[in-house]
Amino acid sequence: MYLKQIEMVGFKSFADRTKLTFDTGVTAIVGPNGSGKSNVTESLRWALGEQSAKSLRGAKMPDIIFAGTQKRRALNYAEVIVTFDNSDNYLPSEKTVVVTRRLYRNGDSEFLINDKKVRLRDVHELFMDTGLGRDSFSIISQGKIEAIFNSKPEERRAIFEEAAGVLKYKTRKKETESKLSATQENMDRLDDIIYELDGQLTPLRAQRDVALQFRELDEKRGQLGLSVLVAQLTAEKHQHEQITEELETVSRSLTEIDQVETAVSRELGTLKQKRRDVEQAQEKMQDELLQLTTAKSDFQSKITIYHNQAQMSQKSEAERTSRIQLLTDKVAELGEELTKLSDKLSDNQANKSDLTAQIQTLESKLANLSENPEDAIERLRAEFVDLVNQEAQLSNRITKNTSELNNIVANAASRSDENKLLSDKYTTLKAELAETSQQAADLKALIAKLLSQYQTAETTGKQLDAQHEQLQTGLFAAMDTLNKTKARLSSLENIRASHANFYQGVKAVLQASDQLPGVIGAIADLIRFDKKYATAIDIALGAGSQNVVVSDEQAAKAAINFLKAQRLGRATFLPLTTIKPRYFSKLAQVSGMPGFVDVAQNLVSYDAQLAPALSNLLGSVLIVDNNDNASKIARALNFTARIVALDGTEIRPGGSFSGGANKKQSTTFTNVEIDALTQQVIGFDTQVRALETQLQDVQAKRSEINAVLSDLRQKGEASRLDSQACTLKEQALLATKADIESRLALSNVSGEQTRVGKLKAGNLSSTERLDTIAVEKEQINTAIAQLKSSQSEIKAMTEQVRQDLQGKQLACNDILSDIRHETTEIKRLTAEKSALDQEIKALAVENETHDASLTADRLATLSDNLSKVSEKFDATSIKMVSLKFEREDLTAQLDELALTHEATNREKQDLLTQKTRFGLSLESLESLLIKRQNKLIDAYQMSFDAAKTLAQEVTNLPESERQLQGLETQIRRLGPVNLAAIDQFDEVNKRRDFLNTQKDDLLHAKALLEATIDEMDDEVKVKFKTTFEAIRLAFKTNFTQMFGGGQADLILNSENLLEAGIEIDVQPPGKKLASLNLMSGGEKSLTALALLFSIIRVRTVPFVVLDEVEAALDEANVKRFGDYMTRFDENSQFIVVTHRKGTMKAAKVMYGVTMQEGGISKIVSVKLKDFVAEEQEKS
């Protein structure tokens, strides 16, 4: 496999579509600085999945899109297409692999492999452990060379892991550890649930025992109650038959009288209809007369108005002209006011600029005063130490001079040859001493600079630590809230899934809904509403929330038979074909009253087909905001409506009130709380992810700061050691210089006296300097004391400057407020001036369009219409008189027939009274029968005929009724009975056993995951150890070859092969074994390249991309680097970005990157073999 082609468009400086084709061997990419040659290697890394904009030399990822130049517009997307020849199946894909990445300016991005859209993860997995990933050792830049040395041993390990091909194992291990963590969390959660279930079983067991006793008593009560009901119904049905016979006799008499009454009524109706026709004709004539009268009056009024308008026409035109003049003057005044405001605005903006400059000056002064006095004290102490050192040196010099004086007196021999040698040595020593002194000064300045940088980085690190702690606290709190919310949500979902919040019968029907056609669901599961109405809707529905909606009465009967057959309790059903809606008829009366919210049905959302059921339950219930308003509305409705306040207080028809507080919130409407909790979980999860991202960013920044601090410490320590070595060297040179001077003086017989004089003068000068040093030491001590005492004065000056700064800032804010006010006023006056201009134009148009001739034409038309209306009015009045006579005749006929109808009606009323009396008796009896039959159906779910076959004979009805009351008393003494406890106990017990089984399964899964992790660890150890030893052996050989001698080694700093870091020990030729930090830049780069080539030798990769990695090498080592690349076999592929001649000579193909057009990179290519052949032909 090898890299075949890179094609890019819109990537950084490559605005035009550009293709680079590669072959085996070495390909060089050259060009001047800033031409964009490194963009080629960055495009490859980006296409292979690089996600860090910073590593691509950008602030954010859209920065890589061509941003445009003065002559070129910016592009909206960047695209890089990388083609690999995969003939050897190096990658688990097709023979040719094409990886495409696109990024659009709006942030959208795409990844494609062979023109198929994939995820970023798919691209990473394709190249994982192949040595070709975005951060692999096959793509090396100069910064990555430095990172090999500057990184910690543990961080250096990543390169070796990539070479060993264990990244997939590490990824799988991470996923397995995540699963292991999830398994442990599930186990902890199961433990909590099992503990909770154990707590539920004890009270459920007691409730189950009471429920079983209730069942026994209830069965006896049911049998006796059935017999009593059948006996009562039999007696009442016999009485009903007797009253029905008497009622039929009265009904026959009523039928006969009705026939007579019908004939009279029919004739009365005919006469009344005729009179109504006449009356309607009269009303129509009267309306017509009224319209004609109105029309006459209207025409007369208009004629008068037009007469007046003709007179006022001339006066209105003059007024409009006057108004135009007045508005023109107002516009002029507004223009002057706008000019003044604009001038004032300009002055305020100038004042703002002056104040801004003063504020900057004060801030600078405040920054100077904020310098820590302790730093100055520390510098003075350092000067004091220097004076002590000088004092010691001067004392030593005096002692030495005194000794030399004694030697001069004792030794006076002359050695001319030695003097010449000493003189030459003295000249060389003086030059070396000057160079060493300059070097010492430079090192001192460097140490001071490094110390300042270290303090700045350390301050930033402390700020990041504080931010990290704050984010971590917030993250833990958010995660805790999220976990609690998830636990509550899971609990409610379990309740909803198991229908545990419903009565036994309802629960049984819902669980068997698959077997019962037509069951739609419980009301509580079928509705949604705002949480603020939860209490009110709960109270309004009451037990109705557990009513079951079914499609028709057949479905209801089938469900009831199911409950009876299985003895699973009772339930109320709402068949959509029979349930009747209820409506509140006085909505208009209460809709405007204070506190009225709405009818309860309107506050609930539901499927349209459920409207009859919801109307029946909530259609007549009013929801009000509080108790006081509920009382007022109830009183206004004379306590005829059911009203529920938002806090749960209820006013029933008739005036009864109920309310208070529930100890436990209703769990019937789990859907409402589940919806709310689901949204909360989404919100909390988003918050946790955001905090995790922020925490990762802070950690990354802290890691960068730590790296900077480590680097500064290393550089500072190295500079300190260099400074100490330089100081020692300087002292040694001074001592040697003094010794040579002394020897020269002693060996020069003719100058002995002069030398003696100089030595004495030197002793005198040194003594005087010692006195001066003593004074300077005292001054430094005094200055230190003054600095310590003047800290309060500095604080006072700082406070004064801070107050001046605050004053200037307040003044600047006032001016900014004036500027905003003046800007707003200018806008207002401009708008007012524009409105006045529009009014002036409108008045001018009105003057131009006024025409007096129109008024005369309208007057003529109105006079003609008035004459026609008057004629029609006279004709209609004559018809009205004729209709009046006809109506009087019909009224007389109606009066005579009404007397006959009255007599017939009195006879009918007597019969109706009898019928009513019998009807009331029947109604009362039927009501009692219906009540007993309903009781029979509700209590026993059977008809009267079916009950007679099951009921026992009752010989003494009163005695049987007393026995039934006794059973009722025993049942009441049992207190509240939870019949569901029988099933709940079995269900909870079964669930606890099930959860224990699940826990055992999780324990087994946990053991398997831990075994899998151990197996992967063993595999990683073997692969890593094997690869490391191979790279180590290759590195020793390559180092010696590339350096022409010396030795090097790779050492693991720990016996733990999963985490051990890698130390690099090197010994260049002719040098001692030393730390990497003490090596020169060229030596470091050459060592890193030796390591890189060692890795490539061990883990062969199809191609290697090197971006100016030899920049720090000298020409000789560059040649070695180039020669070493050519040693690899012909099938190896190197792509090198360089501007070094030695590297270029090793290349088969060379691409030149130029910017013929500013900001646009272009590619020029040449095959060097062809170029050489052409040159030979020319020669």
Tell me whether residue 168 is annotated as binding: no
877 labelled as ligand-binding? no
Burial (CB < 10 A; 0-12, 13-18, 19+), residue 37, is: buried
Q: Are 1078 and 1072 in contact (CB under 8 A)?
A: no
Structure tokens belonging to residue 740: 């040579």
Distance spanning both ends of the chain, measured CA to CA: 39
Which of 141, 135, 142, 138 is closest to 1104 using CA atoms? 138
Q: Is 575 annotated as a binding residue?
A: no
The reply, when asked if residue 33 is annotated as ligand binding, is: yes
Burial class, 274, CB count within 10 angstroms (exposed 0-12 / middle 13-18 / buried 19+): middle
Task: Look at residues 118, 57, 49, 108 and name the one whose alpha carbon lies nearest to residue 82.
Answer: 49
Q: Extract long-range pairs of 600-605: CB within 8 Å, 24+ residues apart.
A: 600/536, 600/537, 600/540, 600/644, 603/529, 603/530, 603/533, 603/536, 603/537, 604/527, 604/528, 604/529, 604/537, 605/527, 605/528, 605/529
Assess contact for 423 and 744: CB atoms under 8 A. Answer: yes
CA angle (412, 413, 419) in 5-degree steps:
110
Residue 571, helix vs strand vs coil:
coil
Of 518, 607, 524, 526, the C-alpha closest to 556 is: 518
**Cβ-proximal residues to 615 (8 Å cutoff; 6+ apart), any chain:** 581, 582, 583, 601
Backbone angles phi, psi at 1115, to 5 degrees: -65, -40
Structure-block tokens of residue 904: 């017939």
Instruction: Tell whether residue 38 is among the known ligand binding residues.
Output: yes
The H-or-E segment that residue 185 falls in is helix 167-369
Hey, what's the torsion of the CAs at 444, 448, 449, 455, to 10 degrees?
150
Residues 1005/154, Cβ–Cβ less than 8 Å: no
Q: Please list, in sequence order, all residues whose beta carbon lies within 8 angstroms of the beta carbon of residue 571, skipping any fewer than 6 positions away.
A: 503, 505, 506, 508, 509, 546, 547, 548, 559, 560, 563
d(CA 21, CA 28): 12
Q: For 719-736, give the DSSP string.
A: HHHHHHHHHHHHHHHHHH
592 labeled binding residue: no
C-alpha 816, offset from chain centre: 36
Binding site annotation covers 37? yes
Of 64, 93, 98, 96, residue with least CA distance to 82: 98
Q: What's the CA gap between 106 and 65, in Å, rounded?
A: 11
Rounded Cα distance, 267 and 555, in Å: 54
Instruction: Specify whether the CB–CB gap between 231 and 954 falls below 8 A.
Output: yes
Tell me the DSSP string of 641-683.
SEEEETTS-EE-TTS-EE----SS---S-HHHHHHHHHHHHHH
What 3-state DSSP class applies to 639? coil
Angle at 1127 between CA 1126 and CA 1133, to 5 degrees: 55
Specify whether the backbone of 112 is left (phi greater than 0), alpha (psi in -120 to 50) or beta. beta
Q: Torsions phi, psi of 1146, nearest 5?
A: -80, -10
| Encoded tokens for 924 | 């009362």
Q: Report the distance separating Cα 84 and Cα 98, nearest Å.
A: 6
Q: 670-747 and 416-498 helices cross at what angle (nearest 10)?
A: 170
Q: Which of 88, 102, 84 has its CA nearest to residue 21?
A: 84
169-206: b (≥16 Cβ within 10 Å) or e: bbeebeebeeebeebeebbebeeebbeebeeeeeebee
CB contact at 8 A, 1079 and 1067: no
**Which residues contribute to the annotated binding site?**
32-39
**Which residues contribute to the annotated binding site for ATP?**
32-39
